[in-house]
Amino acid sequence: MGVIGIILSLGLLMYLAYRGINVLVLAPIMALLAVLIGGSAHLLLPTYTQVFMKELGGYLLKFFPLFMLGAIFGKLMDDSGSAKSIAHWIVNKVGRDRAILAIVLSCGILTYGGVSLFVVAFAVYPIGAALFREIGMPKRFIPGAIALGSFTFTMTAFPGTPAIQNAIPAPFFGTNTFAAPGLGTIGGLIMMILGTLWLHSRAKRAMAAGEGYGEHTNENLNPDQDSALLPSFFIALLPILLVIGLNALFTYVVFPGIDASYLAEPKYGATKLSAVAGLWSIIVALIIAILFIVIVHWQRWKNVVESLNAGTMGSLLPIFNTASEVGYGNVIASLPAFVVVKDAVLGVSQNPLISEAVAVNVLAGITGSASGGMSIALSTLGAKYLELANAIGLSPELLHRVAVMSSGCFDSLPHNGAVITLLGICRLTHKQSYFDIFMVSVIIPLIALVTVITLGSLFGNF
């Protein structure tokens, strides 16, 4: 009954989340349902307060600064006009005849610099819509282009990306956000190139068949309004360069050179510098970049405090949703029946990279969340994967990169919150646009993941 309880709980979590029920409410209920079906009704309250809430709180303690700072940074990039300035510049340079590539690059640069998907979608969509309408390209391909640039190669593959997904494995494996840079770059290029080619060929065939932009009466766009008042491309790009550059500087130069022996003390968690340096580097880089934006654009702010507050509040729902999923996953992992699931996943392959990829993909798909699925997988199986990797001389950096890339495949199923939000911003439906989102954010990332696992298994970390 225990295994049935886990399967039923997971299935209901996925279905009800897709139906729009908030994960904050859903996750604890589904976790306790699994406990109840497993025959432990007397343990419902202790499981909720001592397992679910403890793990939820632990996740908040570890990652809240990244969620909050990332949201503030994105909001300031948006309100200062920097995000739109970068998008406008790329469209003008790439050319209107390469509309899909222009959108992919615009989204890629913004998200690689730490701007959130939602800010990017709101900033780039009006420009992309006007561009597609002008050249007669079907609007239904815009969500796929934004998805490709926003939550594929810059979220999981390219080294140093400040995406929360790229930071999550660091404390589990003692790695940093630049883990396996060569393999990550290869995987990222596969996603970007194949995804762009896919969308371009699909759009070209549709236009050849006589399909145009389409009639969309619910649009009210004026993407070029006040474009002359936007900051210059160079000034707009500087905060992004700061995040990337400072992240690398603190990761490889500053923090490795400090005496952090005090971290061994219990009040600091009895940890090591290698377990926290990756998080520290992103935190410091984002803080400096935020201060830079505020100062450089001082004359542009209508109300900078309002922007800071909006960014802060905007971080709360995403992190609490993810933390609730982590709490759910740890409740499931605490059940006796989970041993069966764990053994099945570990038994998929003797190669820990393959087993890890399966575990993260399955859980990311079930939860509809890259960060949530990966956090559940690593909190329950991460120590075992590290043990297996050390036993065969496999670099923890490979575990890091494979975990992150795996989180960005099955997470983009139809019930994924980012997919639903993106379609809402573009005012399109799953029926109109999801197939291309699926191809560029699920199938092609899987191809890149298999390539990276193969290369990593054959040649090791690079």
What's the pLDDT at 302?
83
d(CA 416, CA 150): 14
Which residues are CB-neighbours of 95 under 8 A, at least 6 positions away?
A: 102
- Each of the 462 residues of the chain gets a pLDDT tens digit; together they read 788 898 898 888 877 876 778 778 888 999 999 999 988 899 999 999 999 999 899 888 888 888 888 888 888 888 888 888 888 888 888 877 789 999 999 999 989 988 777 778 877 887 888 788 888 999 999 999 999 999 999 999 999 998 889 999 999 999 999 999 999 999 999 999 999 999 999 999 999 999 998 887 666 554 454 566 789 989 999 998 898 899 889 988 999 889 888 988 988 888 888 778 888 988 999 999 999 999 999 988 888 899 899 888 878 877 887 788 788 888 888 888 888 877 887 788 889 999 999 999 988 887 778 988 898 899 889 999 999 999 999 999 999 999 999 999 998 887 777 887 788 778 888 888 999 999 999 999 999 999 999 999 999 999
Q: Are 396 and 173 in contact (CB under 8 A)?
A: yes
How many beta carbons lie within 10 A of that of residue 217, not counting itself?
6
The count of residues in the chain is 462
User: Which residue reads 């399966």 in tokens?
Assistant: 358
d(CA 331, CA 316): 22
Domain ranges of the chain: 2-214+223-459
d(CA 140, CA 433): 5
d(CA 238, CA 73): 13
Q: Are 240 and 110 in contact (CB under 8 A)?
A: yes
Q: Are 200 and 157 in contact (CB under 8 A)?
A: no
What's the pLDDT at 219?
64
Residue-wise over 367-392: b if at least 16 C-beta within 10 A, else e? bbbbbbbbbbbbbbbbeebbebbeee
* DSSP annotation string for 354-376: HHHHHHHHHHHHHHT-HHHHHHH
Q: pLDDT by residue (tens digit) across 332-346? A: 888 888 888 778 877
**Structure tokens that stand for 418 in this block:** 């980012």
d(CA 286, CA 304): 17
**317 phi/psi in degrees, rounded to 5:** -65, -45
Expressed in angstroms, the distance from the first to the final Cα of the chain is 45
Q: pLDDT by residue (tens digit) across 86-131? A: 888 888 888 777 899 999 999 999 899 887 777 788 778 878 887 8
d(CA 18, CA 15): 5
Q: Are 161 and 155 in contact (CB under 8 A)?
A: yes
Specify the pTM: 0.79
Q: Are 345 and 359 in contact (CB under 8 A)?
A: yes
Torsion of CA 461, 110, 278, 159, to 10 degrees: 10
How many beta carbons lie within 10 A of that of residue 350, not counting itself?
10
Where on the phi/psi map is residue 335: left (φ > 0), alpha (ψ -120 to 50), or beta?
beta
What's the pLDDT at 225?
47
How many beta carbons lie within 10 A of that of residue 313, not counting itself?
12
What's the pLDDT at 413?
83
Instruction: Indicate the DSSP class of residue 207.
Output: H
Which amino acid, one-letter code, is at 145?
Answer: A
What's the pLDDT at 421?
76
Task: Using the Cα atoms of residue 344, residue 346, residue 351 and residue 355 in order, give the sign of their dihedral.
Answer: positive
Q: Are 14 and 368 in contact (CB under 8 A)?
A: yes
d(CA 2, CA 5): 5
3-state secondary structure of 350: coil
What's the pLDDT at 166?
94
